[in-house]
Chain A
Amino acid sequence: MAISRKALIITAALLSAAVIYFIFSPEQSAWFPKCPTKLLTGWDCPSCGAQRAFHAALHGRFGDALRYNFFLLIGLPYLLAAVVASIGNGRVARWTSTHLLSPRMLWIYIALYCTWWVVRNILGI
């Protein structure tokens, strides 16, 4: 089945990523990917801090994780909704697809994303 194979690959990728982010700290290891926006402009992008946040969260420091990037509070659940809509084919997946991933909700998501981008650079968070 194509679906279960896809789920297997994704699970494997997530697990390996979790292991890597648990063992290594993005702040101390030079070879973690750097944000191109930050390298070029010096501004934080909306996702800056995500790697540090994952590292902190994997070590149980959820407060720190949140402070690295507040937007993950919105982005991760929304990502989960997209995953559910993508791999499921039942009632829940359909509801998610038509309600949470409707064009209007996506535009709200994009608006929040851009607002966060501006606000975090103004406030320095």
Chain B
Amino acid sequence: MKEYYYIDSTNQRIGPIPGETLPSKGVTATTYVWCEDMGSEWKQAGEVPELRHMFAPQVPPAPSAPGMNSGGYGGARPGAFPGRGTQSGTGYNPGYRPQPQQPGGYQQPQQPGGYQQPGGYQQPGGYQQPGGYQQPGGYQQPGYQQPQQPRQPGYHPLQPQPGYTPPQPPQPGFNPQSPNNMGKPDNYMVWAILTTVLCCLPAGIISIIFASKVDKAWYAGDYAGAQDASNNAKTWAIVSAAVGAVSIIIAILAGL
């Protein structure tokens, strides 16, 4: 099995560790994981084919799970969830992640779409009554149908969706705004401190100051700021190194 990184409860990126050891580290189906094949996407462990089986016990919730039967939560699934399912694979689309993970925000937009499209809604559920009395469009009244639908037994098998069930707050450290989905940008701290040890310039101090801002901005959720600080820390470390190189040249010329 491949090596995976994962995000722990304090938003630290941990890894790489072999995939089969993930569950022993407290990784659940909703924990974000990443391996080299996944490009810039972090996925929930329950959505990764190779890992999915390890989180199988979470996949089939009880058919009569509370909450599933209420309102339009379940009713929205056949029409709307397939779209969500494909989206969830794209990982870091801005504005996407917070929505599916908050039950409140999830239900509301779903209800109208799911209910008002009879075609997409009724047929996959298989609950149309024989005899076709629901078929004529003019017969059904919207107010009549809605309370009945969630109680149809043929409906439930559609509901279990790995990675969806346990709502979790979004992980702030892995927001789509982040320019580098692998984690926080490098703070170039080694180079910054190295320039203060080896080099005599204020550039080293400036580099340290920017380096310290990288982590601070990152954990405050300011990903653009973290990237800026990272770039600045790098720039000043390079300035420092460049001045060092020039001084070597001056030394050589002076020695000739």
Binding site for B on A (CB under 8 A): 30-39, 45-48, 50, 71-72, 75-76, 78-79, 82-83, 85-86, 89, 94, 97, 101-103, 106-107, 109-110, 113-114
Instruction: Tell yes or no: B224 within 8 A of A by CB.
Output: no
| B residues in contact with A76, CB < 8 Å | 197
| A residues in contact with B189, CB < 8 Å | 82, 85-86, 101
| B residues in contact with A94, CB < 8 Å | 12
Shortest Cβ-Cβ A-B pairs, 10 listed: A30-B255, A45-B200, A75-B197, A33-B248, A106-B212, A82-B189, A37-B200, A82-B190, A103-B212, A34-B251
Q: Say whether B197 contacts A50, CB under 8 Å.
A: yes
Q: In the bound complex, how far is the Cα of B196 from the Cα of A97, in angstroms? A: 18
| B residues in contact with A79, CB < 8 Å | 190, 193-194, 197
| A residues in contact with B244, CB < 8 Å | 33
If A36-B201, A50-B198, A94-B12 touch, whether A83 touches B190 (CB-CB below 8 Å) is yes
If A30-B255, A48-B200 touch, whether A35 touches B193 (CB-CB below 8 Å) is no
| B residues in contact with A72, CB < 8 Å | 197
Q: In the bound complex, how far is the Cα of B198 from the Cα of A78, in angstroms? A: 13
Binding site for A on B (CB under 8 A): 12-15, 186, 189-190, 192-194, 196-201, 205, 208-209, 211-213, 215-216, 243-244, 246-248, 250-252, 254-255
Q: Tell me whether chain A's interface is mostly helix, strand or loop, or mixed.
A: helix
| B residues in contact with A38, CB < 8 Å | 200
| A residues in contact with B196, CB < 8 Å | 46-47, 75, 109, 113
Q: In the bound complex, how far is the Cα of B244 from the Cα of A106, in angstroms? A: 23
Q: Say whether A31 contacts B14, CB under 8 Å.
A: no
Who on chain A is nearest to B244 by CB? A33
If A75-B197, A97-B215, A103-B216 touch, whether A39 touches B190 (CB-CB below 8 Å) is no
